[in-house]
Amino acid sequence: MSRLNLGGAIVVNLAILEHTQEAYRLLKSLGLATELTQVASARGKEMPDGAVRLESLNPVFIVSGRRGN
């Protein structure tokens, strides 16, 4: 971690929940201030009558670790 500047961050984007836990534990074990965020989005899809509905997309998990000052 000596190459990571003070205040620097490592960010990992994941689609599989089980990998999220592994990444979180690894960054935590490196002494980084660790955070987990889930992002969910949806895409508009037009219906036959012209109305638009939102079609859910798979969530993305973001694990980040920041080196303290």
In order of 32, 50, 54, 56, the CA distances from 46 in angstroms are 44, 6, 9, 14
Per-residue pLDDT, 31: 95
**pLDDT of amino acid 2:** 77
Task: Give the pLDDT of the chain (69 residues) as one tens digit per residue.
Answer: 679 999 999 999 999 999 999 999 999 999 999 999 999 999 999 999 999 999 999 999 999 999 986
Q: How far is CA 53 from CA 10, 41, 59, 60, in A?
A: 36, 13, 18, 21
pLDDT at 15: 95
Task: Return the C-alpha torsion angle 19, 24, 25, 26, nearest 10.
Answer: 90
